[in-house]
Amino acid sequence: MTGTITAFNPLDLSHTDDPYPRLAALRRDRPVSTPLPGWHVVVRDADVRAVLAAPEVWSSRRNNTSVPETPEADRELALSQLDPPAHTRLRRLLSPAFARTVVAELESVVRERAGALAGRLEDGGDLVAAFAAPLPRAVLAAFCGVGDGDAAEYDRWAAGFTDLLGHRARPEWPAFERWALRAAEGRAMGGVLGRLDRTEAVTFLHFLIVAGVPNLRHALGNLVLRLLREEHWRAEGLPEAIEESLRLDPPALWQMRTATRDTVLADTPVRAGERVIAVVASANRDPARWGEDADAFRPGRPGLRAHLAFGKGPHACLGASLTRLQLRVAAEVLIERYPGLRLASDFRFRRAGDFMSRGPAALPVHVE
């Protein structure tokens, strides 16, 4: 029986375009599969949580096999690429900028930027291009203290930086680095960047763009699509609907870790140095955690905020509060301005994103 189930290959776009039927079959019959030599895919909630919560066994740093393990090299790695204690130190320094009380002060900025973009949405236009894509760039610019003189260049960086690897070879990197160093010396993010080494500060600002802009775009597109399809286009119960959208349609499908030693995961031997793909998109729909209606949109379900869209353990998303704020305010602005918003009759889901991420490439809508 289990031999007939096709494994989930995280590097195959045909698997990640519509991953959920395949992942459901694996949850039932093959909780750990091996689509590639030395790569193991875990799909059940309990196993995914176990991987994400134990960096001493499942390393993020060792994913970077081409980067030497030295303090100097660590300073050029993103927060998501580090293990404790380097990760613990850096996260502790940055956390004050992402406190809920600090993020809450951005609400007026988010509402103003969202209102301006919503006002330019045209009947029959693409909501992703007009709203979901530019809003995260605009909000992050405010968060990072981008001045008017840098706005045009910043917008190009935010649109073009999509990968944590190879960025220093890009022709625009020197200009970005000069801006990032100025930002680190100022009051951006409450001045916390000044507590970092200069290289660490530049690396983190790059990481904010790479992680924050596309993931928020996908999360916002997924949310609008989910609310419209579920006929939940209303402000009532919006925070719960946002959490349910994040559970069902996380913008990041999976996370990778590397085994630090020979071990066993869900009765499957894993050797030191082998990769483990923890599929949070599958864990978020595991009936063992979420009930037999795990694939259904039910905003009132118990324990909803325990979903894994923001990860778990040391690498739980530092910007979760900022993401939730943007999703709520953006949805409120759109619902208030366009209470009759609907998808174009010929809409067909077309996926945007890389191997790890998923959201609508376009959302043609009619405004009323």
pLDDT in tens, 279-334: 999 999 999 999 999 999 999 899 999 999 999 999 999 999 999 999 999 999 99
Query: What's the mean pLDDT in 205-216?
Result: 92
Query: What's the mean pLDDT in 139-165?
Result: 85
Q: How far apart are CA 266 and CA 249, in angstroms?
A: 25
Provide the pLDDT for residue 60: 96
Q: At residue 2, does pLDDT exceed 70?
A: no
| Lowest-confidence region among 80-84, 95-99, 146-150, 317-321 | 146-150
Percent of the chain with pLDDT over 90: 78
Q: At residue 240, does pLDDT exceed 50?
A: yes
Provide the pLDDT for residue 66: 80
Provide the pLDDT for residue 1: 40
Provide the pLDDT for residue 5: 67
Q: At residue 161, does pLDDT exceed 90?
A: no
Confidence of residue 278 (pLDDT cuts 50, 70, 90): very high
Which residue type, as a one-letter code, is found at position 204? F
Count Cβ neighbours within 10 Å for each residue of 115-141 and write b for 16 or more, e otherwise.
eebbeebeeebbbbebbbbbbbbbbbb
Tell me which residue has tokens 């045909």.
14
